[in-house]
Amino acid sequence: MRVLLVRHGESMLNKQGILQGATDGPLSEKGTEQARLTGEQLRTEQSQDVVCIFSSPLRRARETADIIADVLH
């Protein structure tokens, strides 16, 4: 079994230089693109291996996971 860890894409607060912690915020345009590119790379390299995607309940993490899942499926 392999476990892949992926950090969320850039958030709007990251872009502003604000440390977020548990503060919830959306991905920036760049973060959305980072998530899409990560999904494409995983589809190319790991397509048969990705069985489950787990995410933090925070918006930036859920958005990243959703984008990656959309690209993979």
Task: Supply the pLDDT for residue 19.
Answer: 78
* Pair 31, 8: CB distance under 8 Å: yes
Average pLDDT (67-71) is 96
At residue 11, the 3 state secondary structure works out as: strand
Residue 21 Ramachandran class (φ > 0 left, ψ -120 to 50 alpha, else beta):
left
Q: Is the pLDDT of residue 6 over 80?
A: yes
pLDDT score recorded for residue 47: 59
> pTM score, two decimals?
0.87
Q: Which residues pair with 11 in a beta bridge?
A: 27
pLDDT tens across 8-66, in order?
999 998 888 887 777 888 999 999 999 999 999 999 986 567 779 999 999 999 999 99
Per DSSP, helices labelled H in the chain are 12-15, 29-46, 59-72
